[in-house]
Copies of this chain bind each other. A is one copy, B any other.
Amino acid sequence: MSRTVFKGDTEYFPGIGQIQFEGPESDNPLAFKAYDRERRVAGKTMEEHLRFAVCYWHNFCATGADPFGPGTRDQAWARSSDPVQMARKRMDAAFEFCTKLNVPFWCFHDFDMAWEGASIDESDANIQTMVDLANERQAETGMKLLWGTANLFSNPRYMNGASTNPSFDVVAYAASQVKAALDATVALGGQNYVFWGGREGYAYLQNTDTRRELQHLAMFLDKAREYGRSIGFEGTFLIEPKPMEPMYHQYDFDAQTVIGFLRHHGLDGDFKLNVEANHATLAGHTFAHDLQMGADAGLLGSIDANMGNPQNGWDTDQFPSSIYDTVHAMMVVLKMGGIGSGGLNFDAKVRRESTDLSDMFIAHIGGMDCFARGLIIADRILADQRSSDLRDGRYASFDSGDGKRFENGELSLTDLRDIAVATGEPELVSGKQELYENLINDYIVRGAS
């Protein structure tokens, strides 16, 4: 289903209509070359597979500031001194952008969409105002909410953590925000609810009781789950791993750390992972690795689609532009049977130097084409018998006989030794990495037509 283009009182992206698929030979920077929404791949449309979302914060709130300078983008929707007016204009811009881009989903933090008041009650009322408006906009356009979340890291009160703050007062305050954000997410039909623990970690190990803080984190998540379920939230709770930044160390370091934490605290029935590419690489992993760890555990819930660069040790949040990344990612996703109720949220920002309004479209188009290509190419690779020989075929000795008995736990260490003595020196079997790498390159340059 295509979205209806929304225009509010002001058209914020004039001269740009709904982005169309024009195919691989098009030179139009404002057209899709690969993302053909209704095209079927592996039994579903591209739109159903990829479930793209646009994020509120990078596009409609941030303007390009970095630690060394303020924003560079002039946003017509941000020109208002009245917070209510600005929030309304911002939402108009958001729905116009999303529907022109023709993505199915959007995502927000509480105080992207609304604005913080002088008290919890005021803040909650502000959120309610914007939820009502967003509901109207969703109904008009067909847009849906992939997930909501609360910003528990910007306000100075959270400088030492939110649910892991050494002060109980702050923990309680954080709870008030999560409650409101959960209420908003449910009201908007959100399919997931995300926790990114930006300040849940430490600046300095020696002044921190990590054990106690992690117990508080688990307790907090447990209570949020309980509340969410009580108000009818049927979606997935998601934890977004990130190893560092802004904190020196963040508790949700990577996929494996979060998986261990969720299981230990009995949260893995309701919580899954929202894996972000640039966070995985900051943790010393590939994007595909963290996706695979999530998939192996049955806990890959959703994806924050972006890209970092290996030379810079911070979260650059670039738009995905590596076809290798998207091929490998979609291989994991296709093998696990799809991303389910999750999606691909572009937690990415145009470069500070990309100041044209059209750059926001160009960047999203590039990211969407990159994943569309990844999807098509991954599907072809997985369908090629050679790729499954190069992976699954290597484990054939465990499919029957003693290998199968080992998997079933039927062989003791002594049994295994006896078998080894009988078998003698095992054969060396090439891993054929280079062959597999060549195969992937051959498919990439064959394109995605």
Contact = CB atoms under 8 A, between A and B. Distances in A.
A43 interface: no
Interface string A11-43: 000000000000011010100011000000000
A69 B413 contact: no
Interface residues of A, number: 164
B436 A204 contact: yes
B153 A68 contact: yes
A402 B359 contact: no
A207 B433 contact: yes
Interface in A339-384: 350-356, 359, 362-363, 365-366, 369-370, 373
Contact of A157 (B284, B390, B425): B425
Interface string A428-444: 11111111111011101
A199 B431 CA distance: 13
Interface in A290-317: 292-293, 295-296, 309-314, 316
A81 interface: no
B179 A417 contact: yes
Interface string A186-229: 00000000000011000111111111101110010011101100
A86 interface: no
Contacts of A167: 394, 397, 426-427, 429
A185 interface: no
Nearest to A291: B205
A361 to B, nearest CB: 9
Interface in A370-414: 370, 373, 386-387, 390-392, 394-395, 397-398, 401-403, 406-407, 409, 411-414
A212 B395 contact: yes
Contacts of A243: 284
A416 interface: yes
Contacts of A254: 253, 257
Given A212-B398, A323-B441, A426-B167, A154 B431 contact: no
A345 B442 CA distance: 22
A433 B203 contact: yes
B69 A414 contact: no
A321 B328 CA distance: 14
A334 interface: no
A143 to B, nearest CB: 23
Contact of A398 (B168, B248, B282): B168
B175 A354 contact: no
A215 to B, nearest CB: 7
Contact of A406 (B29, B171, B281): B171
Interface stretch (A1-9, A98-106, A132-140, A158-166): A158-166
A278 to B, nearest CB: 12
A440 B69 CA distance: 30
A115 interface: no
A162 B108 CA distance: 35
Contact of A244 (B29, B284, B373, B417): B284
A447 interface: yes
Interface in A226-257: 226-227, 243-246, 248-249, 253-254, 256-257
A260 B256 contact: yes
12 contacts: A159-B355, A169-B423, A176-B420, A204-B433, A206-B288, A207-B431, A207-B436, A245-B312, A321-B438, A366-B434, A373-B445, A444-B444
Given A156-B355, A160-B353, 17 more contacts: A120-B421, A172-B406, A172-B417, A176-B420, A176-B421, A179-B417, A206-B387, A215-B407, A219-B407, A227-B414, A245-B312, A254-B257, A285-B311, A314-B314, A351-B433, A365-B438, A366-B441
Which 4 A/B pairs are nearest by Cβ-Cβ distance?
A313-B313, A260-B260, A310-B310, A175-B416
